Amino acid sequence: MEGAIPWIMLAAAGAAAAAAFFTWREAKAVTKSTTSSNLINCLNSYITIMRDRTQAIESKNEQRCKDFYRELFDLHWTEFQMWRDGLIPDHVMKAWLAIRRRNYHEDSMQFEKNGEKVTVSYRKVWDELEHEKYFEPADPYLQLMNKIHEEVIPDMKKLRKGFNIK
């Protein structure tokens, strides 16, 4: 009987290892699926917001143009939270941040209204919202975006560490 106990223990350890492997594999598949779903949802939201951009310009309404940027920044805030939670991969976020930096410096909407040229820019709306405290001053998203707007994107591991993100 004494010889049977080690055999049973080995079988139990093998079964536990197999269960752990299959659990890990399933968790990895679920994570990959969740990440894909998150990226698709963000992309769909972005497409909808970009349609709003066209309509804002066509309406020749300055407030509607500002509202477009506000919606865009709200989407970016959501994406930031998802990235912090590990639901958006670093390489995707890095590409998105590069676009946001470029937009801060270059993106604007222009139209003529009553013979005058009206310009609403990403930078101007961002700065107005920051001044109005649309985002809490201590919000890590606000801090990150201000850093990204002014600097070339550093290594993502360094960026995560700087914002205490795992």
Q: By the 8 A CB rule, do 90 and 79 touch? A: no
Mean pLDDT of the chain: 82
25: confidence class by pLDDT, cuts 50, 70, 90: low
Could you read off the pLDDT of 31-89 as tens digits, one per residue? 555 777 888 888 888 899 889 988 998 998 999 999 999 999 999 999 998 888 888 88
Give the separation between CA 11 and CA 25, rounded to whole angstroms.
Answer: 21
5: confidence class by pLDDT, cuts 50, 70, 90: low
**Exposed, middle or buried by CB within 10 Å (0-12, 13-18, 19+), for 69?**
buried
Q: What's the start-to-end Cα distance of the chain, in Å? A: 50
Strand locations in the chain (E) = 108-113, 116-121
Q: What is the pLDDT of residue 117?
A: 94
14: confidence class by pLDDT, cuts 50, 70, 90: low
Q: Which 3 state secondary structure label does DSSP give 4?
A: helix
- Percent of the chain exceeding pLDDT 90 equals 38
Residue 104 has pLDDT above 80, yes or no: yes
Q: What is the pLDDT of residue 152?
A: 76
Q: What is the pLDDT of residue 36?
A: 78
Contacts of 153 (CB under 8 A, 6+ apart): 94, 97, 98, 101, 159
Q: What predicted TM-score, i.e. pTM, was given to this entire model?
A: 0.75
* Angle formed by the axes of helices 90-106 and 140-150, nearest 10°: 60
Q: Which two tokens mark 95?
A: 């590409």
Give the separation between CA 25 and CA 19, rounded to whole angstroms.
Answer: 10
Domain positions in the chain are 4-162
* Angle formed by the axes of helices 62-84 and 4-59, nearest 10°: 170
Q: Which 3 state secondary structure label does DSSP give 1?
A: coil
